[in-house]
Structure 1
């Protein structure tokens, strides 16, 4: 059977006059902070809170109307963009007893997943976000579709020739094997789309152009990018016309870097693994590894690390608190995405202290938390978002100047990260530790006797007569310092300290 564009029974996305997307460039996205949502597990439009056993791997009822109903909750934490699960129609039956509640088992790319709502509901979500000045990122899958043994169901592809011949990936050191063999296993096979086939390629380029325009999508998270040939991606990204960030699952900067040429950027997995190693191992972890890996990313990624998605939890990896109970370490880890060069991404439930382990345990229903806004991690996240936005507003070069790491005597247990006007001081020592940092005057960060505010607590420290800084923290808590003069006396972030220094001179931005 030839790979033909199958029209029979196909549901075409309706072209419509729709509000223009907000952002067509990565530069616009660098100003944003993203809240990642597994649509089925976030909220129901009718406000109900059904039971949801993650081990059953079935639909629990979350939908696009549910997300709309909780935009106040998301925005109140300071997020101005959301990333939602894939929106296209998935297989309706079970595969190995599991349902496609996650959205990654595509059946028809030209139809929507009715479990999440109708076309009008997705359009309403996009419109509701845009009315608030927020962006919509949608997760997409190009690489694979589930094997249903009835190729006519996998629309709009016409037959087996649209897919690579059956072979499961056996050698991740062989790139051809990675790109042309299948993910999954015999009990759960995922057909690998033949992206060397020109018909298939044209289908995908046209599809993504229409999906973005029809539903007012502002950005795309692209699944399993390394399983598709690299030269497929530039035209795909051009067809989309919006920011594209790809999943390249690797801890090696050198392997990941070439994918930042075809797409706008990638999720920064190499640094993620370094962060996990440094913090999850506690005092036996080496904080210096974070600086080493991230510095390599800055050097090798196209556009440095400014366009990457920076994260410490997601739907594919265990939550921090599945292995770490020390809340001081948790607070340090959560701080990382908000104080480096990348675009911060927070996985839903992290703010509520969720503790799910490996998939599917890490895909808990958020409605079971009651959307409690009094949680300590939620308060910290709100402050981190506010601090980043204030830094962007105060320093016009904030988004373009790379972070630097200031060497510390205790390199294995402390990290000092400078991105003026932010100075983040992190430690993996835990709640029983007392840690110290020293910022020499030669770093050139501060004036003599300058007041700095820890935006996580609103406590203050003062630099020495030569502009140097010495800071000690108890209970292993992180600090994010900003000059008091960089804060707004009318804002929500440590405004009292800002008012006290309202007469101070602002930093020179020349």
Structure 2
């Protein structure tokens, strides 16, 4: 294939960093301006556009070429970055949990997964995205490989050197999640298929793993990385990884404690915003908005750059937003509105736009072709509209300033949260389709007394009072995005 085998990978991490760190790579500050559409490669689109039936735990036939052929669908919602599944070769056997369609059971970091296409196909996808002014993010796993055996009977010889001996991995043990040393040194899974934990302290082994990723970045023009299981890798080795790959990295640190999660911002560019996600789910499913507002405030003072964090409503590891008890399309629209204007980078998991409702893995990994790629779907159009409004707001303020300063909460109640970002005031609700007759009194804002402001989602107007206070009238449970009428652009003619 395209990679140097480990016998040839004698380069130090410092050399790799100098070689692969491209001046063209987008910085974390530039990634702040992005919005990301996450796909599972196997479930998004087939090369020939067919819609095969398949078992949800097996390969379904989605490919890199399929994604390339459907870029207009993604662009139609306004996204400018696509996050795809891990690209490396995975175990081929069927396991008790099905096949490795998801890409997280890698067994050869020096080869690509042929189920997703050829090296030329991956390069073509990257080139096509760049030709559209879009960015490519890949999912990466450096913490472990996978074997279709239990931890006590792994055949290490099937891995490529230097991973082909037991000494390349930590001694098998089950994780004690109350012990960080155990989290970093024990195996994520010891049952079949097991996940042998790479010994990052072994210089030759870790250098080979990191350089395999750096090779992918260089060869295929990768713009960003989502790093799986980041909290299972010791921080000094995350720092080395970040330096070697030379692109934006957002890491999975699955924990709700902002102080703990913030410790990984620095070793890598960014983290997935799990602390916000836990609060967000509670608030939009009917709890008081005060917890979400409090977390927003905490994160501003806890994280170095909250605007470079990756925010989400659901993903391949968590139940889909539409599967939550009591959820409806009105709550979906409110949550999407919040996501688009909150501090941080909005990430939307494929199928949200069609209200896919799979709960736990693997049921949250449906094939998108079942939707017919319907661009008239209510949420598809809502997301596209939010992107247009986001563009107006960021252009008025100046993109660098808008995406550096982020959102500020103006007030909350049990049913509403109001926040400002740049030129807009966003008011979201958690009452859902049941609606409410109660509006929300925004206590202050950036608007001047006497300003006529308009909700860009309904074209309703109101006049701001002293200190920018105004009444955001009830809207059948729907969100509102307010702006001065002179700044509304082509909206609400």
TM-score by length of 2: 0.91
Distance (whole Å) between structure 2 residues aligned to residue 288 and residue 495 of structure 1 = 32
Query: Which residue in 1 is equivalent to 2:12?
Result: none
Preserved CA contact (<8 Å) 2:89 2:113: yes
CA distance in 2, matches of 1:270, 1:78: 26
| Residue 159, structure 1, aligned to residue 165, structure 2 | yes
1:46 matched to which residue of 2? 48
For residue 484 of structure 1, report the CA deviation from its aligned partner: 2.5
Aligned mate of 2:257, from 239, 252, 260: 252
Structure 2 residue 471 is matched with structure 1 residue 436? no
Q: Give the 3 Å change call, closer, same or farther, for CA 241–376 of structure 1 in structure 2.
A: same
Deviation at 1:286, TM superposition (A): 1.8
- Contact 1:172–1:178 at 8 Å: present in 2 too? yes
| Equivalent-residue separation in structure 1 for 2:24 and 2:396 (angstroms) | 23
Match of 1:86, SS state, is coil
Q: Is the 8 A contact 1:286 1:412 kept in 2?
A: yes
Partners of 2:433 and 2:284 in 1: CA distance: 13
Q: CA–CA distance in 2 between the matches of 1:458 and 1:52? A: 45
Which of the numbers 406, 409, 429 marks the counterpart of 2:410? 406
**CA deviation vs aligned residue, 1:369-405 (integer Å, no higher than 9, x gap):** 1000111111111111111122221102211113211
CA deviation profile, 1:117-146 (whole Å, cap 9, x unmatched): 000000000000000000000000011111
Moved more, 204-213 or 464-473: 464-473
| 1-structure distance, mates of 2:88, 2:191 | 24
Name whichever of 332-341 and 308-317 sits farther off: 332-341
Contact 1:451 1:483 in 2 (8 A): yes
Counterpart selection for 1:35 from 16, 23, 37: 37
Provide, for residues 310-365 of structure 1, a one-character-per-residue CA deviation record: whole Å limited to 9, x for no partner. Answer: 11011111111112342222221222221111011000000011111110010000
Alignment of 1:369-380 (within 5 A): 369-380=371-382
- Does residue 1:327 correspond to 2:332, yes or no? no
Equivalence map 1:47-446=2 (5 Å): 47-54=49-56, 57-148=57-148, 149-156=154-161, 157-169=163-175, 171-280=176-285, 282=286, 285-303=287-305, 305-323=306-324, 324-396=326-398, 397-408=401-412, 411-432=413-434, 433-440=436-443, 443-446=444-447
- Shift of the 470–97 alpha-carbon distance from structure 1 to 2, 3 Å rule, reads closer
Measure, in 2, the Cα distance between the counterparts of 1:288 and 1:97. Answer: 40
Aligned twin of 1:500 = none
The C-alpha deviation readout for 1:396-426, integer Å capped at 9, x for no partner, is 2211113211124xx2221111112121111
Contact kept, 8 Å, 2:329 with 2:355, in 1: the verdict is no
Match of 1:505 in 2: none
Partner of 1:484: 485
Give the conservation status (yes or no) of the 8 Å contact 1:86–1:103: yes
Q: Would the aligned equivalents of 2:445 and 2:467 in 1 still touch at CA under 8 Å?
A: no
Tell whether the 8 Å contact from 1:21 to 1:218 is kept in structure 2 after alignment: no
RMSD: 2.0
Structure 1 residue 49: deviation in Å?
0.7
TM-score, normalised to structure 1, is 0.88
Following the alignment from structure 2 to structure 1, what is the Cα–Cα distance between the partners of residues 274 and 174? 24
**Offset at residue 213 of structure 1 (A):** 0.5
The unaligned stretches of length 5 or more in structure 2 are 9-19, 149-153
CA contact (8 A) 1:329 1:427 kept: yes
Deviations 1:291-321 (A, max 9, x none): 1112111111122x11000110111111111
Q: Is the 8 A contact 1:245 1:265 kept in 2?
A: yes
Deviation of 1:186 after TM superposition, in Å, equals 2.0
When the two structures are aligned, how many residues end up with a matched partner? Answer: 469
Report the Cα distance in structure 1 between the residues aligned to 2:84 and 2:417, rounded to whole angstroms.
33
Equivalent position SS for 2:201: coil
Cα deviation, 1:39-87, whole Å, max 9, x if unaligned, reads 0000011010111332xx0000000010011000100110011000000
Using the TM superposition, give the Cα deviation of residue 21 of structure 1 relative to its aligned residue in structure 2, in angstroms.
Answer: 8.3
Greater shift, 457-466 or 307-316, is seen at: 457-466
The answer to which of 171-180 and 333-342 deviates more is 333-342
Q: Distance between the aligned counterparts of 1:471 and 1:29, measured in 2?
A: 32
- For residue 7 of structure 1, report the CA deviation from its aligned partner: 4.8
Which stretches in structure 1 are left out of the alignment for 5+ residues?
Answer: 9-17, 497-510
Query: Which deviates more from structure 2 when the two are superposed, residues 245-254 or residues 155-164?
Result: 155-164
CA contact (8 A) 1:6 1:158 kept: no
1: CA distance, partners of 2:300 / 2:356? 31
Q: Secondary structure at the match of 2:402?
A: coil
> Quick check: 1:435–1:474 contact (8 Å CA) kept in 2?
no
8 Å contact from structure 1 (residues 308, 343) kept in 2: yes
Contact 2:456 2:492 in 1 (8 A): no
Kindly indicate whether the alpha-carbon contact (under 8 Å) linking 2:48 and 2:66 is maintained by their aligned counterparts in 1. Answer: yes
Q: The residue matched to 2:403 in structure 1 has which SS?
A: coil
